[in-house]
Structure 1
């Protein structure tokens, strides 16, 4: 009888939780991480040579839209996860309490990748965003559905990990912070964090971050002007700094037009790194400019974030934001998820949400995925 189900050999392992950044072998048994060591003896049902690759904890994409077929912006969950070496997809508001059951039955239950959900406070979630029609769901206050949202959150604690609300001129129109009040009440009653989308004002960046609590997530945190996190003089807004001290989580959420390289450069120059790096992948940005999580991570490598910190933002920090300590690490006994990545050197062109291009000297690409202790994808 084999000692392990799977051993990965020859890779360079990065696990910020364990402070590992070195050549290591990794073994899995019974769906969990079994051992991490410079050399693992014993037998395995399968041994894979991943020489020249990085091994990381299973990547967590903190902001995706994977309600394929249920919303116009949904992408196919497993196809996307494999293409970007992601093991946990966090869907952020595609579904609301009125259509969550369909999302659960037709996508979440059938997917191999893990899908966790920030449930939208709007009854039908993000129901009318496409390349032809864009109707902000938070513009219609009659769609706010706190009672059903609370019932759904309480009934599905294993899947619903937070409440989502979208604010701004494109999504809440003239109503400003009003949808936030509904979302906050549900989050407080359910004991869950909020994730808040912000676009053009109203409301302002300051108005939003001043209301967020410890553990709440502001996505699109490096969005462009107007409503950027910077003052007119280029400094970080005091309300942003205070929110970070309070424990608010700042998430990238690249998306179609929600990431500015100019803003990111200035924020990083001030020592303000994002807590979590996510793609906000959906049908309007999966073919660019966001593409996927590994491309978004690569952009932050090009901006000077050290590789271990880039990996931390999509593993340890994301798991902490989700309150799932069993994820985001390769510590023995934890969930047997790992991502195998290639780190390529050269000159690579990237594009932000304002169509501004910039160059980087390194790029991460997906080479494989281990899901529940088994090879799910290997290229």
Structure 2
């Protein structure tokens, strides 16, 4: 067998298969392969001694409608951060989704899927607030867009915060969004999820979660503004626990203003772990400390908070791959999967993490990408790696 690359001597970690050992990873063309005892020749041997070899990271909550939204970044800028797949969290709406798809999704090296904001204009600018009044839903166009791009659109997005939805009508708006997803699913045979931005909600976390269906996304789950999922007595809101039992998914979706260190500490102390860890990257924080800078920095924060490495990797590989409908194709190193791979070094250096309240968390571990392969092609290599 002639291989394209062999990554040798690395600690290969794959949450989907439970693999965690020093071994070679063999790549042929755009796939990971198992030689099964066959002799392998290769002109490109990559020595990953002292490094972690992981499936390419999947950033499940980003904003990448570059040049279509004032908050967005170029998706391929995430490749040096080890991200090979991502989900845009509703930066576009029905009025501009096709522009987003044609100008960003199609030419992107990072594999992209999307949520569609139920407000037709999407998230255009921090100073332009969306209006989620159900009277403004463009059902006819939404049905056409979802049907045409059903392989890309994962679900509908609503921001559920004071100042974005009315305090007295917010729950009506949320319920209308869920009903809209149900209606489109019935008409089109789709399986649209609902993703809810929960920071500074006008209702309790439990009441909010009670509206969600199995597979829906409660994002910014560790936010520390207003009603959060940890009650004053330190217990997790019972409505949140019931939602998790029903199959509602909880995404950390950190962001700059959507994460509270104390909320996270108290939730983790009750063993309430996020199903997904994502960055919520926008251009006001991209690569800028001490908030969520990039996905590896966010993952390092959760290592500091006490999660083990395999658990952390699962939230950015196996779990989001399943939600994206690509289990076994991405988010894994099993033979036959796309060769989306990141080589990481776990460095012991001081790292300061902050939240929107300026509460701090002092860490001493940082995951640093050394190389990123997207579908078997090296798209990033750290200057001092593979010399």
TM-score higher than 0.5 here? yes
1:154 aligns with 2:153: no
Report the equivalent of 1:186. Answer: 180
Q: Deviations over 1:240-283 (max 9, x none)?
A: 11111111110001112110110111111101111100000001
* Post-superposition offset of 1:225: 3.7
1:84 aligned partner: 81
> What is the aligned partner in structure 2 of residue 120 from structure 1?
117
Matching residue of 2:343: 340
Q: Which residue of 2 aligns with 1:56?
A: 54
1:147 positional shift: 3.0
Residue 207 of structure 1 deviates from its aligned partner by 2.1
Paired with 2:82 and 2:175, the residues of 1 have a C-alpha distance of 36
Alpha carbons of structure 1 residues 227 and 109: separation in structure 2 relative to 1, 3 Å: same
**Structure 2 vs 1, CA of residues 269 and 169 (structure 1 numbering), >3 Å: closer, same or farther?**
same
1:35 is aligned to 34
Paired residues of 1:118 and 1:163 also in contact (CA < 8 A): yes
The alpha carbon displacement at 1:351 in A equals 1.3
TM-score, normalised to structure 2's length?
Answer: 0.91
* Shift in CA distance, 50/255, structure 1 to aligned 2, threshold 3 Å: same
- 1:24 and 1:36 in contact (8 A); partners too: no
The 5 Å alignment of 1:309-320 reads 309-320=311-322
What residue in structure 1 maps to residue 302 of structure 2? 300
Tell me the SS of whatever aligns to 1:346: coil
Could you tell me which residue of structure 1 aligns to residue 385 of structure 2? Answer: none
Question: Contact 1:149–1:186 (CA<8 Å) still a contact in 2?
Answer: no
Provide the secondary structure at the position in 2 that maps to 1:11: strand
C-alpha change, 1:242 and 1:140, in structure 2 (3 Å) is: closer
Tell whether the 8 Å contact from 2:118 to 2:132 is kept in structure 1 after alignment.
Answer: no
Distance (whole Å) between structure 2 residues aligned to residue 341 and residue 170 of structure 1: 41
Q: Does 1:272 align with 2:277?
A: no
CA contact (8 A) 1:150 1:186 kept: no
The 8 Å contact of residues 170 and 200 in structure 1, kept in 2 or not, is answered as no
Q: Is this contact kept in 2: 1:146–1:183, CA < 8 A? A: no
Question: Could you tell me which residue of structure 2 aligns to residue 70 of structure 1?
Answer: 68
Match of 1:370 in 2: 373
Cα displacement string for residues 98-155 of structure 1 (whole angstroms, at most 9, x for unaligned residues): 10111011111111110110111110111231xxx2x320355554333322221111
Answer with 184-193 or 141-150: which moved more.
141-150
Separation in 1 of the partners of 2:43 and 2:103? 33
Question: Could you tell me how far 1:323 is from its partner in structure 2?
Answer: 2.7
Which whole-Å deviations, capped at 9, do the CAs of 1:315-338 have from their partners, x for residues lacking one?
Answer: 111112223212211110112211
| SS across alignment from 2:369 | strand
Aligned residues: 372
Contact 2:62 2:282 in 1 (8 A): yes
Q: Does structure 2 conserve the Cα–Cα contact (< 8 Å) formed by 1:138 and 1:179? A: no
Partner of 1:263 in structure 2?
263
1:283 and 1:36 map into 2 onto residues whose CA distance is 43
What is the aligned partner in structure 1 of residue 326 from structure 2? 324
Q: Given that residues 167 and 203 in structure 1 are in contact (C-alpha distance below 8 angstroms), is that contact kept between their aligned partners in structure 2?
A: no
Q: Mapping of 1:199-214 within 5 angstroms?
A: 199-214=199-214
Q: Which residue is equivalent to 1:238?
A: 238
Q: 1:36 to 1:315 in 2, by over 3 A?
A: farther
SS of 2:231's partner is coil
Corresponding residue for residue 44 of structure 1: 42
Q: Partners of 2:245 and 2:222 in 1: how far apart?
A: 18
Corresponding residue for residue 22 of structure 1 = 21
Question: What's 1:254 paired with?
Answer: 254
Q: Counterparts of 2:134 and 2:125 in 1: how far apart (Å)?
A: 15
Counterpart CA distance in 1 for 2:34 and 2:358 is 44
Q: Name the residue aligned to 1:98.
A: 95
RMSD of aligned residue pairs (Cα, Å): 1.8
What displacement does 1:36 show? 8.2
**Is 1:347–1:362's contact at 8 Å kept on the other side of the alignment?**
yes
Once residues 45 and 186 of structure 1 are traced to their aligned partners in structure 2, the CA distance between those partners, rounded to angstroms, is 54
CA distance in 2, matches of 1:204, 1:149: 30
Are 2:169 and 1:169 aligned? no
Q: Deviations over 1:316-375 (max 9, x none)?
A: 111122232122111101122111111011332111232211111211122111111121
SS at match of 1:128: coil
| 2:9 aligned partner | 10
Q: For 1:217-236, list aligned pairs within 5 A.
A: 217-236=217-236
Q: Note if contact 1:89-1:113 (Cα within 8 Å) is conserved in structure 2.
A: yes
Q: Is the 8 A contact 2:56 2:85 kept in 1?
A: yes
